[in-house]
Amino acid sequence: YRFRAKDYQESFQRAPPKIACGPGRALENPAHADCRNTIFRFTQGLSKAISSPVSMDDTRTIRLIAKLLPDGSAAEGAEKIADTGEPLETVMELLKDWEKLRRTRRWILENSGMDLAVSPPVFHALLKISRINFIESATRNLDVEVVSLKETRGPTDPVAVGHLNTALRELYRSLEAIREAMLKDFPDPLLKNNIDIAHLDRIDGFLVETLGAQKNQLKALFGAGRLGKIEKEFQDLFPDCPRAHPLRETAKQVAKEMDLYRAMQKGNEKWSALNLDLFPIVRRDGLSQLLQNIQEMGTLLWNLVYLNPAVERSARLAGIDLADIATLFPPK
């Protein structure tokens, strides 16, 4: 467009059309003069736009990038990112996913007590889980060998995104198994509203005596007072579970339900390094939402890995290091 505008200007300069204006005087046609002025303004504006390093849209994007950066030098950091020449839209996408990742981690911490921004000591404790500890690695001969992370990394080594993703995948698998058991076998548990890990041993004791009395009529006859006391203690333990009472009528169903609670107890033990307690989560029907957020966290981690190569310098300037997840969850 600049070259064409120049050609038009030269043509007007070579043969400017004239119109009469009084004796012995001539002026350029006003219509052509307006055209020349328009072309001059167009070429001048275009030259400024071409010489300017940042467009209006880029300026707006840089401001948005500054808002997404978590550190205190956001404005300076955004300018440095713009100077890399990397695609700003991709940088924006990466930073938005990073912000979502931090929000998702916060939601999981507040609603489950688990901090999935796992520290090196916590990850080292998780290596007792075989599916996290053992990884497959390709050799130079393209053979696959199984490697134990316990033997190849120290307890203070940084936790990489790949390590965290492996832990999230196994955590999701464990919790999904419990949810599937609930949906299939225990869609509406009798004791859900008040169940707690501290109650399990007492429930087992109540069931032994109640079911034993039902099998032995003589024992039931002479132990009526004791069974009545058990009923009262059981009711005090589960005041918000009316369908579970009286225990003499629901004992078999409660005994079956105990399989679910023992599985939850094993889940707590497996993930003790994360301070998982499934019982309050199940009490408030929060297991499905927790699974959704764990899955979302894994997806966002994958997005960061996928986008990083295109904006590697910008990610580094923002403070992101995929080899150390501590950089993904900076303190406020």
pLDDT tens digits, one per residue of 130-153: 999 998 877 777 778 899 999 999
Give the whole-angstrom CA distance, residue 126 versus residue 271.
Answer: 8
Domain ranges in the chain? 2-52, 119-307
Give the whole-angstrom CA distance, residue 306 versus residue 317.
Answer: 18
Choose among 115, 112, 136, 161: nearest CA to 277: 112
Computed over its alpha carbons, how large is the radius of gyration of the chain?
35
Whether 36 has a pLDDT exceeding 70, the answer reads no
Enter the tokens of residue 174.
């464990």
Give the whole-angstrom CA distance, residue 161 versus residue 141.
Answer: 26
Largest CA distance in the chain: 140
Choose among 104, 110, 121, 74: nearest CA to 328: 104
pLDDT in tens, 100-126: 999 999 999 999 999 999 999 999 999
Whether 3 has a pLDDT exceeding 70, the answer reads no
When pLDDT is averaged across residues 168-179 and rounded to a whole number, the result is: 98
Choose among 208, 203, 319, 222: nearest CA to 265: 203
pLDDT at 55: 54
Give the whole-angstrom CA distance, residue 91 versus residue 88.
Answer: 5
Q: What is the mean pLDDT of the chain?
A: 84
Q: What DSSP designation does 137 have?
A: E
pLDDT at 214: 65
Predicted TM-score (pTM) of this structure: 0.79
Q: Choose between 27 and 328: higher pLDDT.
A: 328
pLDDT in tens, 191-250: 999 999 999 999 999 999 888 776 666 455 445 667 889 999 999 999 999 999 999 999
Give the whole-angstrom CA distance, residue 30 versus residue 80.
Answer: 49
Enter the tokens of residue 259.
């399989």
When pLDDT is averaged across residues 145-162 and rounded to a whole number, the result is: 95
Whether 155 has a pLDDT exceeding 60, the answer reads yes
Question: Any long-range contacts for 34-37 (C-beta under 8 Å, 24+ apart)?
Answer: 35/8, 36/9, 36/12
pLDDT in tens, 63-90: 889 888 876 556 678 889 999 999 999 9
Length of the chain equals 332
**What distances in angstroms separate CA 319 from CA 61, 183, 275, 298, 329, one per listed residue?**
19, 43, 28, 20, 10
